[in-house]
A and B are shown apart, each in its own frame.
Chain A
């Protein structure tokens, strides 16, 4: 580590490390500071470990369904969660090791410690053993990410009341689980643990789950989860949580005045995430913070020239791949003096449930609220050959388009491989394709992607694989 750098990146997650590498590619001397493990939330406590657990749940499902596909003598599968946990950790370790190698090969210096600003041009780094070093730099990119947020009255203790971080470090399955919060994180965990055979209840304060998703899609997910045995309480709040022995008693009150008592073994608090800014001493740098989040302009620069921020610490988007795009933009703006911005219109989002949900662009509600007159087309996977072959016919694809221009405003999918399918829609929307270009594209047969084409055709009631409406 040198005494001064061209750029110091604080946080080696999906926002910070691409920024560090890109700046290095442009010839800058770069120091990457990380207080924990390389890879940030995404690799250590988010995207990767949850999807690794999910792969085991899927395998479990498939094996249980094997006889339906004519595979005999499979016996009765059971879940060895310790093994599931180890497999997940193995994948995370391998990817982490890969990252360290990439940093070395690019010549990005790394240091382990907690960074805090001492001026707009200097930080101090406190290592785990308490030693403090000071580093000066021309530019800083803040990429410290976020941590699970809590709500008043519910204090995670890591034993029975857990955050997603705690949840991912458990190597046994809880017998029963109350999930506070029916957003993306809560619903992903609900689907996952339901598939492992855990009794799951979801409590959501808002009138429906997945508030950010298209209403029809969220409604379908609610039905799928309830059919699979997940109890869902919407418009309901937790009034008290009390622990006794090996159980937690939750008192709930719905907005229409119904009281309910639930006794579970564990509670998962999934009430969103908050930016990690408190350790950075941003006042020393003069960086503007609003409601805990660093404020940046569209070029990712804070109010202090030379200090940039990307990813969750800005309090918006909170998606690993959005953070990566922002990181690259910040690095290029900082070192090439460019004025690049991130185009957020076509950023897809995925929810890894069974079946998956994926979407890009405006929901039907948002499009109408924006004053657009919309066309809506839908196509059910039950009418898709490939879905039937795969034995996954739950769900549908939905296309929202502008009535006057045929502009594709949004595509929403609940169904098999939705998170893979959505990329086609992102590309089409990114290129500003209208329904007619989309309808002229070829989709292989049989494939799940045909459902999207048919949904686009259905906007003009022209789907050929649907009965006449």
Chain B
């Protein structure tokens, strides 16, 4: 099966979106539900998940390109050797799908342009125009590091970046360092994190979570919810699981201020959102009492607000625990710095197909690595481990996340 990946229509008024990121590379394996690409509209940036599992192929949409909604930007194919639609073979400029009544128009030999995207030919020679070679030499740019946009992947002058040189006369001029004071938001982040890392005795616990069961559950759920316009992300499920685990292990759901430890029984989970200016952490309040769909709605609204720069201080206040998710990147695992006065933070890695031994047989399952950072002044290792095991159990046996929902 070939599943076209289209530029989504993310709002009533959205006509086109800018493709700002591919989380996967051409030919890379993709698991349904994983973040696949990012779209930026005039309002905000949106992560888009793979709608099918397979291999990312025939990538048409280039990062930075503005593309009309519903146009095809690439394909997810079940196999690497499966034949893609004609358009995908053609050329780098990209191809969308414009619905036409004719049965899939096949270009004739005369009309087809057999062009491929290989800038380096097998002999090792780089295909580049004379002008591009000259500019690359002058600007000190390695031609092999460039991707050609000309016919047949040839590097043309426009592909050679200006390396800070104001005018070609500057030749090999390298870019000089720039100094500027930290912006307000960065100053705050710097002070808080430095204080946290220097004064809080962090300890770290890592575990791997088998996502085999939750993947189809989420798919099924989203299929059911499609009509309502709601989409549940992995992060929403993670928030729900963390909230339930925190309810059972409230020691992790605490605030430590001036030697006073305040344990909370209601869970308000902050989700770290990275913006160009810095990190913001909007809070999903009463996450333990909300069902997954409500969390999904609220989370999306908060993230949209964050990207639009419209978060209010209220949106970011009152968190009792934080989740930082870098799953959209190929980050397997990482350790986060505690967001004081909270005493714990979960760092979520990407979902990776991993070979595991199940009853002596080898199987490939989607695995997500998570790291808990905890404040040793407030909790001990064993308590943190119990919390993390509960969290793992909730995600590995995901029916628990939906108890009471129906």
Contact = CB atoms under 8 A, between A and B. Distances in A.
B106 interface: yes
Contacts of B135: 405
A80 interface: no
B68 A305 contact: yes
A431 B129 CA distance: 6
A196 to B, nearest CB: 42
Contacts of A335: 98, 100, 102, 105
A219 to B, nearest CB: 30
A6 interface: yes
Nearest to A331: B111
Interface string B165-196: 00111000000000000000000000000000
B137 to A, nearest CB: 10
Contacts, number: 96
A22 B111 CA distance: 7
A28 B99 CA distance: 12
Contact of B110 (A25, A402, A437): A25
Nearest to B132: A432
A336 B130 contact: no
B104 to A, nearest CB: 8
B87 interface: yes
Contacts of B100: 6, 28, 138-139, 334-335
Q: Is the interface of B mostly helix, strand, loop or mixed?
A: loop
Interface in A20-69: 22, 25-29
A432 B131 contact: yes
Contacts of A371: 167
B257 to A, nearest CB: 56
B134 interface: yes
A339 B94 contact: yes
Nearest to A7: B100
B93 interface: yes
Given A337-B96, A405-B135, A434-B134, A26 B105 contact: yes
A89 interface: no
Interface residues of A, number: 34
A139 B101 CA distance: 10
Interface in B89-146: 90-91, 93-103, 105-108, 110-111, 129-132, 134-135, 138
A339 B87 CA distance: 10
A251 interface: no
B236 interface: no
B108 A25 contact: yes
B48 interface: no
Given A332-B111, A336-B90, A339-B94, A433 B102 contact: no
Interface residues of B, number: 37
A437 B130 contact: yes
Contact of B130 (A22, A28, A332, A434): A434
B156 interface: yes
Contacts of A339: 60, 93-96
A100 B260 CA distance: 92
Contact of A405 (B97, B111, B131): B131
A373 B167 CA distance: 10
A437 B133 CA distance: 12
A373 B169 CA distance: 10
A332 B98 CA distance: 11
B105 A27 contact: yes
B15 to A, nearest CB: 9
Interface string B61-87: 000000010011000000000000011
Contacts of A28: 100, 102, 105
Nearest to B98: A337
24 contacts: A6-B101, A6-B102, A26-B105, A26-B106, A27-B106, A28-B100, A28-B105, A138-B101, A139-B98, A335-B98, A335-B102, A336-B105, A337-B96, A338-B87, A338-B90, A338-B95, A339-B96, A402-B168, A404-B169, A407-B131, A432-B130, A434-B131, A434-B134, A437-B130
Closest 7 pairs between A and B when the two form their complex, measured CB to CB: A432-B129, A432-B131, A404-B168, A27-B105, A26-B105, A339-B94, A337-B96
Given A335-B100, A433-B131, 14 more contacts: A139-B98, A305-B68, A335-B105, A336-B86, A336-B90, A337-B72, A337-B87, A338-B91, A339-B94, A405-B134, A405-B138, A432-B129, A432-B130, A434-B130
